[in-house]
Amino acid sequence: MTSNNSYEYIDRESIGESLLCKLCSNPFINPVVTQCDYTYCGACIEPKIRSGSNCPSRSCNQLLTTAHLKSNTSMSLTISILDNLKGSCPERRIDCARKDVGCSWSGPRNTYDEHMNTCLFEKLRPMIDILYKVIENQSFHIEELQKQKTQLEQQNAQVEQQKTQLE
């Protein structure tokens, strides 16, 4: 399982060392284990393998090959659990659902309901939806009128042409 790596760290120092890649210092993405049982992000260790480097671990220093890498399924499971918790963390910052119509509020998820009770854009939403429909209808009518104008101009040109032929 792959992490989407879009964590918002409330307290970066509280992240356990066992969840961080020694090469990039971020939580693991596609964690793989080397022959000496060290875990790295797949994307971090692959360039070292391609360049023929030795294991970055100071205690190992063995030549790296893809044949020796294996997926760290227990770490992948831990990352998957963390990714799923991300959506339920009450301190996670989120945007107002009415951001699309101008609300600039952003705050902890646990204060979202309180914000929505006072959000002016939430209260204006029904009127905004009606106005969007009116604008959409007017745009459609403008297009229709432009088509009619083009047709009338073509008909007028044909009548003028017939008029000059008759004279």
| CATH assignment at residue 71 | 3.30.40.10
Give start and end residues of each alpha helix (H) in 33-119: 42-50, 73-86, 112-118
User: What are the pLDDT digits (tens) for 64-122?
Assistant: 777 778 887 776 667 666 665 555 567 778 888 888 888 999 998 889 889 999 999 88
User: What are the pLDDT digits (tens) for 116-155?
Assistant: 999 998 888 888 888 889 999 999 999 999 999 999 999 9
User: What are the pLDDT digits (tens) for 33-71?
Assistant: 888 888 888 888 888 888 878 888 777 777 877 777 888
Residue 130 lies in a domain: no
Residue 5 lies in a domain: yes
Do 96 and 115 meet the contact criterion of CB atoms below 8 Å apart? Answer: yes
Which of 38, 21, 36 shows the shortest CA–CA distance to 79?
21
Residue 81 lies in a domain: yes
- Provide the strand spans (E) within 5-44: 31-33, 39-41
Residue 143 lies in a domain: no
Token duo for residue 37: 């049982």
Q: What is the pLDDT of residue 80?
A: 63
* CA dist., res. 160 & res. 167, Å (int): 11
Residue 149 lies in a domain: no
Cβ neighbourhood burial of 23 (10 Å; 0-12, 13-18, 19+): middle
11 φ/ψ angles, rounded to the nearest 5 degrees: -145, 85
Which of 38, 47, 1 shows the shortest CA–CA distance to 20?
38
Pairing between β-strand 31-33 and β-strand 70-71 as defined by DSSP bridges: antiparallel
Residue 162 lies in a domain: no
Residue 144 lies in a domain: no
In this prediction the pTM is 0.44
- Encoded amino acid at 153, one letter: E
Q: DSSP code of 54? A: B
> What is the count of structural domains for the chain?
1
* Residue length of the chain: 167
Q: Which domain holds residue 38?
A: 1-89
Q: What is the pLDDT of residue 142?
A: 95
Token duo for residue 78: 């831990």
Q: What are the CA-CA distances from residue 87 to residues 6, 46, 83, 107, 112 (Å)?
A: 11, 31, 8, 14, 13
Residue 75 lies in a domain: yes
